[in-house]
Amino acid sequence: MRAVALAWALLLASLGVVFIAMASGSPPPDLLFQADALYLPSLYRDVVLHGGRWVDWKLPPAPYFFPDLALAFGWNTVLRDFRLAIVAQAVSQVALLALGAQWVVREARGPVAAQAAAVLVPAALLLAFALGLFPLGIYLLVSAHHLGAAVATVLALAATLRLLRDGARATAALLALLSGAAAASDALFLLYFAAPMGVALLALNPSPHRRLGAAAAVVAPLVGWALPPLLYLRFRVPPPWSLHLDAAPATLERLWQTAGLLLVANLGLALTLRRRGRLELAFTLAMMAFTVLALAVTGAYEDAWSVRYLAGPLFVPPLVACLGVPERARWAAPVAVAAALGVAVARLHGPFERPVTRWSSPLVDCLDRLAPERRLSRGLADYWRAKPLSLMSRTGLEVVQVEPSGAPLHWINSRAWYPPGAPYDFIVTTGLEEAKLLERYGAPREKVVCATESVWLYGR
């Protein structure tokens, strides 16, 4: 198992290189701290640290309870610093993905070389991201971007393979809990796992005494998915997507332009399983087909940012395809990744101003300098600036998000953050409509430029 141990060491080294590269600005570290990725840290800060209420929050359509929220709340509780927690969560996500991939290969009776290759797939993707060759690698690191559903898919696939082999009740219970929680957290899990596993089980036709246990792989996600509607009123989670069949051709065209070649490459990887694992092949092909079809008929794939919906079809097929790696190639994958790691290290460059665990945007630094002198405490900004400003401010600035018109924007935040008549002493006007701001809030007493962005100052 030395090859597997080496693979894990290379994976950890690849994570280190990525964070060092981000500290130098390439890839930019703000990818880890953009507003979408700060949903769970903000939720933790409000509900756990400040005593806010869950019922005041408007959660996203995928609330990401498992594994994202569990990891985020756990790491924030242990580390007491949201930046450290974000880095720890990124490491945890990648480690769980690699662990699940290794488990899949082992349950499918793959050789040691295949297990090592499965661990090294995330390492290779991370190094490609660090070298600027694979921008989508950022989705391996950030929470609340559907990678959690892909991680749960790999783990559930491994549990299903074990269940089909031993039929143990404990394995069935584990699979039911895992897949139920994942489906309740993210409806994409149905497309990533439940629906394709149903197709794969039909193709496999397991023995009668195994069918009842294997049915947990399909039934439990459906039960889990049916639970969130009970929370829609209490937690104000928007309902699932609606059908937009007329937009399907345009949606497919956008999907092809942004991820078509990667999907084709993954299709080729999946087909390498045709002589190795009938269940794994049927599952992988069905997952890709179900996901693409669902995105097409709902019109959910709107632009390049929508590629996050493809976490399953992009990251799962290369992991499962590692089953086809022969034992004689035990050292091929570790040597290749080690070479890529060397190239990435050689291309690291400074200046390393601060590690990602201490990163702060220039706008935050500027406002923190102004805050004591100008008596700034509570402000307004657009969606993309409000959460980073509030979480990163060292002077305790509280910034709430508004629509371009300046009206409250209650989306992935708490309604309690908008008390009637609350005073605001500054507005970051970038992304907002200044004419409508003047109508709503009046003329500022002063206008300043902070880190190239316009800020209006109010109050005394």
The DSSP secondary structure of 133-154, one letter per residue, reads S-GGGGGGT-SSSSHHHHHHHH
Cα separation of 255 and 355, whole Å? 35
pLDDT confidence of 215, banded at 50, 70, 90? confident
Cα separation of 232 and 306, whole Å? 23
Cα separation of 100 and 154, whole Å? 5
CB atoms within 10 A of CB 111: 18
DSSP 354: S
What are the E-state strand segments in 16-104?
A: none
Give me 297's structure tokens.
């008929």
pLDDT confidence of 449, banded at 50, 70, 90? very high
Arithmetic mean of pLDDT, 338-352: 87
Q: Mean pLDDT of all residues in the chain?
A: 90
**pLDDT of 452 above 50:** yes
Half-sphere exposure of residue 91: CA atoms within 13 angstroms, side-chain side: 16
pLDDT digits (tens, 9 = 90+) for 74-133: 999 999 999 999 999 999 999 999 999 999 999 999 899 999 999 999 999 999 999 999
CB atoms within 10 A of CB 303: 9
pLDDT (0 to 100) of residue 213:
60
**pLDDT of 38 above 90:** yes
pLDDT (0 to 100) of residue 240:
54
**pLDDT of 203 above 70:** yes
Task: List residues bridging with 401 in a β-sheet.
Answer: 381
pLDDT confidence of 327, banded at 50, 70, 90? confident
**pLDDT of 392 above 70:** yes
pLDDT confidence of 349, banded at 50, 70, 90? confident
**pLDDT of 173 above 90:** no
Decide if 49 contacts 98 (C-beta within 8 A): no
Arithmetic mean of pLDDT, 39-47: 97
Give me 1's structure tokens.
């198992």
Using DSSP, state whether 450 is helix, strand or coil: strand
Ranges 129-138, 207-216, 259-268, 431-440: which has the least confidence: 207-216
Percent of the residues in the chain that have a pLDDT greater than 90, as a whole number: 67
Per the model's pLDDT, the better-predicted residue between 206 and 15 turns out to be 15
pLDDT confidence of 315, banded at 50, 70, 90? very high
**pLDDT of 198 above 90:** no
396: left (phi over 0), alpha (psi -120 to 50) or beta: left
Residue closest to 355 by CA, chosen among 18, 10, 12: 18
pLDDT confidence of 233, banded at 50, 70, 90? very low
Give me 224's structure tokens.
């889990």
Its sign, for the CA torsion 117, 119, 120, 122, is positive
- pTM score, whole prediction: 0.92
Cα separation of 454 and 456, whole Å? 7
pLDDT (0 to 100) of residue 303:
83
Cα separation of 210 and 215, whole Å? 9
Contacts of 266 (CB under 8 A, 6+ apart): 288, 313, 314, 317, 318
Cα separation of 41 and 74, whole Å? 11
pLDDT confidence of 431, banded at 50, 70, 90? very high
Cα separation of 250 and 238, whole Å? 24
**pLDDT of 32 above 90:** yes
pLDDT digits (tens, 9 = 90+) for 278-303: 889 999 999 999 999 999 988 888 88
Decide if 404 contacts 427 (C-beta within 8 A): no
pLDDT (0 to 100) of residue 239:
53
pLDDT (0 to 100) of residue 138:
96
**pLDDT of 247 above 90:** no
Alpha helix segments (H runs only) across 108-227: 112-130, 147-166, 169-185, 188-189, 195-204, 208-214, 216-226
pLDDT (0 to 100) of residue 444:
93
Arithmetic mean of pLDDT, 400-410: 95
H or E segment to which residue 186 belongs: none
Three-state secondary structure along 219-286?
A: HHHHHHHHCHHHHHHHHCCCCCCCCCHHHHHHHHHHHHHHHHHHHHHHHHHHHHHHHCCHHHHHHHHH
42: left (phi over 0), alpha (psi -120 to 50) or beta: alpha
Decide if 148 contacts 64 (C-beta within 8 A): yes
CB atoms within 10 A of CB 313: 25
Its sign, for the CA torsion 433, 437, 443, 446, is negative
